[in-house]
Amino acid sequence: GAVVSQHPSWVICKSGTSVKIECRSLDFQATTMFWYRQFPKQSLMLMATSNEGSKATYEQGVEKDKFLINHASLTLSTLTVTSAHPEDSSFYICSARFEGRPETQYFGPGTRLLVL
């Protein structure tokens, strides 16, 4: 149990286009979902926290107008990278938590984004 999926697993897009990444909790309802970004040979950096039905809370330095997060249901959150540029190329990882405790947080497999 406690499986989190992401779609797509990888995506290549042209500069200036928008890309949507989906994060789904497959066998539980996630009250909170998190989005992380990871550049090569670096750690995971938290981008934002989203609660179902409310606006996401963004970490300092993350542009909310560029990284649109929607958490419309208890099993789905989406991250849209708007007007993507090559510097947005990264590994995006989501996680989902079904209770308030971090012990109930599970990570997705990640989405590799390459912007040409």
Partner 1 sequence: GESVGLHLPTLSVQEGDNSIINCAYSNSASDYFIWYKQESGKGPQFIIDIRSNMDKRQGQRVTVLLNKTVKHLSLQIAATQPGDSAVYFCAENIRDDKIIFGKGTRLHILP
Which residues contact partner 1 by CB under 8 A? 4, 6, 34, 36, 42-46, 49, 91, 93, 95, 100-103, 105-110, 112
Decide: 74 and 30 in contact? Cβ < 8 Å: yes
Complex with partner 1: residue 8 or 16, whichever CB lies closer: 8
In whole angstroms, how close is the CB of 16 to partner 1 at the nearest point? 26
Pick 19 or 93: Cβ nearer partner 1: 93
**In the complex, least distance from residue 40 CB atom to partner 1, rounded to whole angstroms:** 10
* Strand pairing class (32-38; 67-73): unpaired
Total length of the chain = 116
Task: Find the shortest distance in angstroms from Cβ 30 to partner 1.
Answer: 14
What is the distance between the alpha carbons of residues 66 and 59, in angstroms, rounded to a whole number? 13
Q: Is the Cβ of residue 49 or residue 70 nearer to partner 1 in the bound state?
A: 49
Are the C-beta atoms of residues 82 and 18 closer than 8 Å to each other?
yes
* Structure token pair of residue 5: 């999926």
